[in-house]
Structure 1
Amino acid sequence: MSGMKIGIQTWGSHGDIRPLLALAEGLRAAGNEVHLVITSVDSGAYHGLESTPGLRISVVASPVLVPEQEEQIGRIAYGIRNPLKQMATILRMCFAPVEDLMFEAAQRLCAESDLVIGHYFMHPLQVAAEKAGRPYVSVLLSHAAIPSDFNHPLGKAALGKTAHRLLWRLMRRLLNGVLLHYPNRLRAQVGLPPARDIVTEVWLSQHLTLAAVSPRLCRRQPDWPASLQVCGFLDMPGLAIDGAIPAALTAFLDAGDAPVYMSFGSWMPKDIAGQTRALQLLTQAARRAGCRAIIQSHAAGACGFASTRDILYIATAPHQAIFPRCRAVVHHGGAGTTQAVTLAGKPSVIVANISEQEHWGGELRHLGIAAKLAKRRSVSAAGLAKRIRQVLDAPEMTAKAEAIGAAMREENGVAEAVEQIMRRFHGRAAAAGESLQPEAL
């Protein structure tokens, strides 16, 4: 039986793009014809990605931001303590300017595909799929916004089902007030009635929602519908976008004790002034902690920093290959970086910029494999150094991280996601006029 024509669309930074690229490769390998549409907030690197037989890659409106805009948004986000206002600001500045272009691409993708798959923020694809009558799969990169009577959105302490239900109802009402106008504007354009709930009608697909989080970090709740499945981390080592290990990095790793890797990922400022301040923080923290360090920076030389025997500055490196050779990782708490560090069996020190990153810091702290969360707006070099030393001086934390990493390495998120998609849709999505009945949430 022939494969399907599958369209995939994603938006965001590398951490939002790489998992969908890994899924696209997995679906291609399963015999499907895949078209991946990428909108990158902060990078033009995806224009150079070469398509392989069976996988077509298109780039739309990328990068969304120039470095000066990134620095401005970073400063604004650091200063906003209300997580809903913070999310609304990021979407207004990073998503809304290219929303119409992404919607046009989504409509084209639906016209050519049997099935479409989108990053959960990709409401343009969800709207286009509903209008075109195409089955739609949503991919969650975090489980923080999945309602359940068995947890609540404010923390770990159990408060009881009634309290959890009330808290989720309040949270969804607040989210709707801030975000629902985005999909509803597009729905009105194509003659669809307005959605009433951003979480259950937009972010979560009633055909199939995949939580792309390791089961070690995300436990499936008893009241989740069968349409919502935990597939695991969407990771595929050796993707072309990851690049190779630089020779200088290999030499540094071989020359001494295992270092601490330090990276703010897509939240590292691109402008020289902002990046200089970030490098001063990381460099001083490494020196105060007395550890060898690899510090990721695209412009360390221009910022006045040069590598030494104990500190190496690099522009980029394949995390999946480097993290296993490090003692610990200081990072921003993005979903992809968090799971790559945990997969490598290393403890974390998270310096969060936004609420989603604080969520990951709390998850790892709860598991006993991370230092106390630090926040970018207030962290000092001394405070960061103290957290690094706490991790390095805690062999029990390293042992826990190694055990969880070993368990994660037995998982295969891409294979599980592909199996879920093929089992549910192969041979059904291409049937003309077929109506796939969704499950009620």
Structure 2
Amino acid sequence: MRVLLTTWGSRGDVEPLAGLASRLLELGAEVRVCAPPDEEFVELLARVGVPLTPLGPSVRSVVNGAKPPSAARAFELAPELVAARYETLTKAAEGCDVLLATGLMPAGARSVAEKLGIRYVLACFHTAGLPSSKYPPLSRPGHASSPEETDIKALWEQDAQRVNALYGEAENRHRAEIGLPPVENVRDYVFTDRPWLAADPVLFPWQDHTDLDVVVTGPWILPDERPLPADLETFLDAGEEPVYVGFGSMALRTSPDLARLAIEAVRAQGRRVLLARGWADLAAIDDRDDCFVVGEVNQQALFRRVAAVMHHGGAGTTTTAALAGVPQLVVPQIADQPYWAAGVADLGIGVAHAGPTPTYDSLTAALTTVLDPGTRARARALSADGTIRTDGTTVAAKMLLDTVSEERPVHARVNRPDTEHETRTHRSARPAASDRRTELMP
């Protein structure tokens, strides 16, 4: 069996595919991955023995460009990505049995699968962008809905129109070139009626978030056995557990002074600081030996040795910290991050910061709660009780095999949580509408 996995997005979109690819290889499948050509993604896929087939421009070049991502750039990028998918995926999918797409609105991927007559699966890591009769859509580049519009159905219809404005012309032009009829609603065509959700239902309770028939696999985690760097080990051993501060692929354009604020707030708690550079290139503010700066590192090992994790609320970082049993301070920036932050707060394993732009006072107050022994005890208990799922790649890999063999339906037992999970997930991690963030790009 041959499987083609594809995405375009940050590390939070690529690493889960690496985890799934690794599990598929273990089960005897052949795997190809089409993803952005960023060097760190090439190295990430190389760790699991899968070469990366470049798709579209570098994500970091878009996020960290000279100018912040704008609506105008979004309308340039959308058709560029559609064209890249038609060209790249058509070649990469040759001889494949199934194509799984995720990441930023993968318009074009399903059309390639349709033309080649192979199975198509849309996977997502949250439900924030899926149509709902109860919650309004995220903001998206294009003509904004009227502030006075409150009808949920109308708002989602307008969201579909914005997706069509971004991707429709390119999608249907390329479809016509390969002999396929036009698509009227690009968003719904891409999503399908049965998208897969690769997230933990305790950390991200999804019930009632969308009207689609979501198939829950659990998070796709790539096991990381890499040792921590020697100098980092030396720092960790030299004193009390530090507070980790890292914001991953966030450019932090609205908070350029975040490193200073975070370091000063952590020091005010009498704690040392472990600062991750990330795509914002965070740096130490002085030469004091209580602050250590790291690059890309094994978070699975590291988070077990810190007092708390301050981060942006990406799905992967949130899940890794929860599995490590460490308290979290989530400062959400965009898209699904406020939802993960709300889930952390609801579980009592950390704090959701109010808004993306913190102050010294707001971080100090939040850290007081995060570093409270009660918060630490709840975080450890959640990690220890086995509630958080770690079998997502196995579930998803076997489901992909089943979509081809047709030995059983795609909506296998894993679509229905067991009794324990059901009782734990009848909460809503959705933040108030006023707290939700705009998607970074289309």
Give the shorter-chain TM-score range. 0.7 to 0.9
Question: What is the CA-CA distance between 1:316 and the residue it aligns to?
Answer: 2.3
* Alignment TM-score, normalising by the size of structure 2: 0.77
The residue type equivalent to 1:181 in the other structure is A
The residue type equivalent to 2:248 in the other structure is G
* Alignment TM-score, normalising by the size of structure 1: 0.77
Task: Give me the CA root mean square deviation.
Answer: 3.5
The residue type equivalent to 2:160 in the other structure is N
Equivalent in 184, 188, 206 of residue 200 of structure 1 = 188
- The answer to whether the 8 A contact 1:73-1:93 is kept is no
Residue number in structure 2 paired with 1:372 = 352
- In 2 relative to 1, CA 423–11 (structure 1 residues): closer, same or farther, beyond 3 Å? same
Question: What is the CA-CA distance between 1:102 and the residue it aligns to?
Answer: 3.1
How do 1:146-225 residues align onto structure 2 when only pairs under 5 Å count?
146-147=130-131, 152-153=135-136, 168-184=152-168, 185-191=170-176, 192-203=180-191, 205-206=192-193, 209-219=195-205, 221=207
Question: What is the CA-CA distance between 1:11 and the residue it aligns to?
Answer: 0.8
State how far apart, in whole Å, the 1-side matches of 2:78 and 2:187 are.
18
2:313 match: secondary structure: coil
Question: What is the CA-CA distance between 1:129 and the residue it aligns to?
Answer: 1.5
- The answer to whether the 8 A contact 2:137-2:156 is kept is no
2:7 match: secondary structure: strand
How do 1:31-430 residues align onto structure 2 when only pairs under 5 Å count?
31-39=28-36, 43-48=38-43, 51=46, 55-66=50-61, 69-70=64-65, 72-73=67-68, 91-92=74-75, 95-120=78-103, 121-147=105-131, 152-153=135-136, 168-184=152-168, 185-191=170-176, 192-203=180-191, 205-206=192-193, 209-219=195-205, 221=207, 228-238=214-224, 244-268=227-251, 277-297=257-277, 305=285, 308-376=288-356, 378-393=357-372, 395-406=373-384, 407-408=386-387, 411-426=390-405
Residue number in structure 1 paired with 2:429 = none
The residue type equivalent to 1:347 in the other structure is P
- The runs of 5 or more residues in structure 1 that have no matched partner are 77-87, 156-165, 429-435
- The answer to whether the 8 A contact 2:249-2:278 is kept is no
- In 2 relative to 1, CA 261–167 (structure 1 residues): closer, same or farther, beyond 3 Å? farther
- The answer to whether the 8 A contact 1:49-1:57 is kept is no
Question: What is the CA-CA distance between 1:259 and the residue it aligns to?
Answer: 1.6
State how far apart, in whole Å, the 1-side matches of 2:374 and 2:337 are.
24
State how far apart, in whole Å, the 1-side matches of 2:370 and 2:245 are.
14
Q: Which has the higher helix share?
A: 1
Give CA deviations for 1:157-192 in whole Å, capped at 9, x if unaligned: xxxxxxxxx965234223212212344221332224
- The answer to whether the 8 A contact 2:23-2:397 is kept is yes
The residue type equivalent to 2:399 in the other structure is Q
State how far apart, in whole Å, the 2-side matches of 1:93 and 1:399 are.
48
2:350 match: secondary structure: coil
How do 1:22-33 residues align onto structure 2 when only pairs under 5 Å count?
22-33=19-30
Question: What is the CA-CA distance between 1:409 and the residue it aligns to?
Answer: 5.3
State how far apart, in whole Å, the 2-side matches of 1:404 and 1:53 are.
29
State how far apart, in whole Å, the 2-side matches of 1:303 and 1:253 are.
18
- The answer to whether the 8 A contact 1:7-1:115 is kept is yes
- The answer to whether the 8 A contact 2:328-2:350 is kept is yes
- The answer to whether the 8 A contact 1:127-1:183 is kept is no
State how far apart, in whole Å, the 1-side matches of 2:42 and 2:186 are.
31
State how far apart, in whole Å, the 2-side matches of 1:325 and 1:37 are.
34
Question: What is the CA-CA distance between 1:413 and the residue it aligns to?
Answer: 0.9
Give CA deviations for 1:66-98 in whole Å, capped at 9, x if unaligned: 388446327x6xxxxxxxxxxx67844765544
State how far apart, in whole Å, the 2-side matches of 1:325 and 1:139 are.
32
Between 418-427 and 91-100, report the one with greater CA deviation: 91-100
State how far apart, in whole Å, the 1-side matches of 2:362 and 2:280 are.
23
Residue number in structure 1 paired with 2:424 = none
Residue number in structure 2 paired with 1:162 = none
The residue type equivalent to 1:214 in the other structure is D
Give CA deviations for 1:18-77 in whole Å, capped at 9, x if unaligned: 00111111111111111011115xx32234456589844322344245388446327x6x
State how far apart, in whole Å, the 2-side matches of 1:267 and 1:94 are.
19
1:176 match: secondary structure: helix
- In 2 relative to 1, CA 219–397 (structure 1 residues): closer, same or farther, beyond 3 Å? same
- The answer to whether the 8 A contact 1:139-1:210 is kept is yes
The residue type equivalent to 1:29 in the other structure is E
- The answer to whether the 8 A contact 2:124-2:198 is kept is yes
Among all aligned residue pairs of Structure 1 and Structure 2, give the percentage whose two residues are the same amino acid. Answer: 26
Question: What is the CA-CA distance between 1:110 and the residue it aligns to?
Answer: 3.0
State how far apart, in whole Å, the 2-side matches of 1:427 and 1:290 are.
58
Question: What is the CA-CA distance between 1:14 and the residue it aligns to?
Answer: 0.7
Give CA deviations for 1:241-274 in whole Å, capped at 9, x if unaligned: xx541112111222222221110110146xxx99
